[in-house]
Structure 1
Amino acid sequence: GDDGLGAHPRILRRPCDARDAAQVERLFAEARAAGELRFVAHNIGGNVRFGALQTTERVFRKVWELCALSAFLVGKEAAAAMAAHGGGGTIAFTGATASTRGAAGFGAFASAMHAKRGFAQALAKEVGPLGIHVCHLVVDAPIDTAFVRENFLPRDATLARRMLPPEDVASAILAMHKQPARAWAFEMDLRSQHEPW
């Protein structure tokens, strides 16, 4: 069936420090040269836990660069590339619970994720009339990765039933990408049936 990306999508995968404007510009120049850009996902986050009194300026700045600055740089270049081809396409940003509410010990992360969500919302309003769908997925649960299993599962036995399979997160983003322009959602929040909220 149609996956919303075309019968034979051309996927460009390159290493890139998305906090570096020059690297992001080079990545999108290469993407433009490869053809029309129809889908971009920004999945970067920097979840750290430090109380406000223990958070250094360096930690705060690094988390902001990872979450907010990279979202701006990627979103700007993606929108420009899509607009250059006459519009159309999807720019999907993944967020977290911290995108909509702060929690004790997560001040740096919550402020950066709020900024990412705010930028995505502003970009959606700016480029929506060009046919570019900008959306934001709030992932309100841990994602089942080797990192989470190794670093968090040993400390929290309830985590196993609350984790989201990465393919289910990808399916949710793809569902937003496939929405018709007459019924676009800006935001979806995703969690397992066992996640308290």
Structure 2
Amino acid sequence: MRSMASSISSKGIAAIVGVGPKLGRSIAHKFAHEGYTVAILARDLGRLSRFAEEIAREEKAQVFAIRIDCSDSRSVKEAFEGVLSLGFVEVLVYNAYQPVPWRPTNFTDIPLDSFYKSLAVSSIGAFLCAQQVLPGMVERRRGTILFTGCAASLNGIAGFTELCCGKFALRALCQCLAREFQPLGVHVAHVIIDGIIGPSRGLTVTQRGLVGEQQQSGRAEEGSTMMDPDSLAQTYWHLHVQDRTGWTQEIDLRPSPSRFY
């Protein structure tokens, strides 16, 4: 766990689970910019620590990097012992997912352990993380939990059984938690990302190139219909600060087709 500043924010902790070079990092940047102490969690602690240093430096914020394996209940418990030791977790963003091949996989060729892993990361990990933070939110009658979904959350897709089953379960979890905990002051929402997320427009040319190298080939051309993660992060922030008289439970985000530009 890395500390990058001198004192914990009075606003509470924003815990971002599943922080990679695009959306997770942009969400962490946004909440740090708004004055939150941020805990960023993912499996690759080395890369995560570099993100923590970058965010802390640029946003003048307190940032902690904590390793987590969302498919392992013991890892989730240990990670959140660290997060909760920082103070009250006011915001949980669950952005973790298990990468799957971009090309369709025949159903009969899907290994059972691969199917289990996708379910574990997409939905069971979300269940475990939410269990860690909800008691504190209910006690204070405030808090926000945001789950990241995708087009596979809504429709079964031939050849993508692992992804769809995990994301369907995540959406169901979100709806159950919203109905149980929103009357207790906790805002729970599901964000459907229906598109390909590209590098942040806020990155330097060199940084954009490095992120672009990590993209799966053959999906989309940069600058066509890719979604800017910084813009998406603005929506996560908007959901968090919504007035409780008009809370959003689910929102879908997609890029405007390039032919309309």
What is the TM-score when the length of structure 2 is the normalising length?
0.67
Q: Tell me the equivalent position of 2:67.
A: 15
Q: Tell me the equivalent position of 2:245.
A: 182
Name the SS for the 2:39 alignment partner.
coil
Among candidates 153, 172, 186, match of residue 235 of structure 2: 172
- Per-residue CA deviation, residues 19-72 of structure 1 (Å, 9 max, x unaligned), is 222222233333333222211100011242422121111111111111111111
CA spacing shift, 1:156–1:8, aligned 2, 3 Å: closer
8 Å CA contact 1:45–1:95 kept in 2: the answer is no
Instruction: Name the CA distance, whole Å, in 1 between partners of 2:227 and 2:179.
Output: 30
The percentage of counterpart residues that share the same residue type is 26
1:24 aligns with 2:51: no
Instruction: Name the CA distance, whole Å, in 2 between partners of 1:179 and 1:139.
Output: 19
Q: Please state which structure has a larger fraction of its residues in strand.
A: 2
Count of aligned pairs: 192
Q: Tell me the equivalent position of 1:90.
A: 144
Deviates more, 1:8-17 or 1:52-61: 8-17
Q: Tell me the equivalent position of 1:117.
A: 171
Shift of 1:88: 0.5
1:161 aligns with 2:224: yes
Unaligned ranges ≥5, structure 1: none
Deviates more, 1:4-13 or 1:68-77: 4-13
Unaligned ranges ≥5, structure 2: 1-29, 41-65, 200-209
Shift of 1:4: 7.9
Instruction: Name the CA distance, whole Å, in 2 between partners of 1:87 and 1:59.
Output: 38
8 Å CA contact 1:96–1:140 kept in 2: the answer is yes
1:53 aligns with 2:116: no
- Per-residue CA deviation, residues 106-134 of structure 1 (Å, 9 max, x unaligned), is 11110110001100110111111110001
CA spacing shift, 1:6–1:12, aligned 2, 3 Å: same
Query: One-letter code of the match for 2:86?
Result: A
Moved >6 Å (runs of 4+): 3-6
Shift of 1:5: 7.9
Shift of 1:6: 9.4
CA spacing shift, 1:27–1:156, aligned 2, 3 Å: closer
Name the SS for the 2:155 alignment partner.
coil
Instruction: Name the CA distance, whole Å, in 2 between partners of 1:46 and 1:4.
Output: 24
Query: One-letter code of the match for 1:96?
Result: C
1:194 aligns with 2:257: yes
Shift of 1:100: 0.5
Shift of 1:169: 1.6
8 Å CA contact 2:32–2:38 kept in 1: the answer is no
Q: Tell me the equivalent position of 2:24.
A: none
What is the TM-score when the length of structure 1 is the normalising length?
0.87
Name the SS for the 1:170 alignment partner.
helix
